[in-house]
Amino acid sequence: MVRHGQASFGEEDYDRLSRLGMEQSRVPGTHCARTGLRFDAVYSGEMKRQRDTAGLVLERQPVQPPPAPTIRSEFNEYDFKSIIRALLPGLAAELGLADNAFAAIRGDRKAFQKLFNTLYSRWVAGTDDSADIESYRQYISSIEKGLRPVAENSRPGQNIAIFTSGGVISAVLQLALDLPDSIATELGWRIRNTSVSLFTARPGPAAGAGSPLRCRLMSFNSTAHLDLTGNPDLATYR
């Protein structure tokens, strides 16, 4: 699983790779070309930053043309704007914040992250259940649903690339290690742009959609491809 390159934080269109994000996204492709790593199948979420990251990586695949990405909505990031709209009024009332608290810190990464961390934790915990947004449990279930056909259609030894976002990767990590929500959330904030996390996934012994999906973690949040460039500016979290 590959996290997308840096998005356009603070811009009207967040779902767009920044200039740095595009540079980051070319690096894993170059790394694949140097090592001869080829993908047997490719998946991506629907988001532009996910699809564009996939495109920049795939254009450097050692075997051309590369597999065309299969787009699946289950690999989309959680809808952070809906979380903010649904949960901010309650938090603002508790803390005495203005309703436009997020607008005031729109360009401040640290201030935004601090406030959003609180909202995200409340969403994960389900303390502020709202019919207006997908619950965290529904989100996890959707991701597992998306992984199932990937596992069912792959064979041992194949390299399957999924271009997605940090929330999806941390959710799969949680499934693989049976982590509590709080630990999965904390690890999710550590996932770097264009980092690579390796998992194996197999359908459970029982056939059908209700069978458990068996996920195992092989490696997490690797940015070796970025480190080898010698450019520390390529290492970003948001």
Question: Structural domain boundaries of the chain?
Answer: 2-78+160-234, 80-125
Helix (H, G, I), strand (E, B) or coil at 68: coil
Lowest mean pLDDT among 101-105, 137-141, 182-186: 101-105
Residues 24-31, mean pLDDT to the nearest whole number: 96
Please report the pLDDT score of residue 43 as a whole number.
Answer: 98
Q: What are the tens digits of pLDDT across the range 206-216?
A: 545 555 788 99
Residues 55-70, mean pLDDT to the nearest whole number: 91
Over 90: is that where the pLDDT of 61 sits? Answer: no
Lowest mean pLDDT among 26-35, 47-56, 67-76, 104-113: 104-113
Mean pLDDT, the chain, as a whole number? 90
Over 80: is that where the pLDDT of 169 sits? Answer: yes
**Residues 143 and 74: beta-carbon distance below 8 Å:** yes
Please report the pLDDT score of residue 203 as a whole number.
Answer: 79
Please report the pLDDT score of residue 103 as a whole number.
Answer: 66
**Residues 216 and 200: beta-carbon distance below 8 Å:** yes
Q: What is the CATH code of the structural domain delimited by 2-78+160-234?
A: 3.40.50.1240
pLDDT band at 110 (very low <50, low <70, confident <90, very high): confident
What is the C-alpha separation between 80 and 30, in angstroms, rounded?
Answer: 31
Please report the pLDDT score of residue 210 as a whole number.
Answer: 54
What is the C-alpha separation between 146 and 165, in angstroms, rounded?
Answer: 14
Please report the pLDDT score of residue 12 as a whole number.
Answer: 76
pTM for the model stands at 0.91
What is the C-alpha separation between 155 and 152, in angstroms, rounded?
Answer: 8
Please report the pLDDT score of residue 211 as a whole number.
Answer: 57
**Residues 3 and 169: beta-carbon distance below 8 Å:** yes
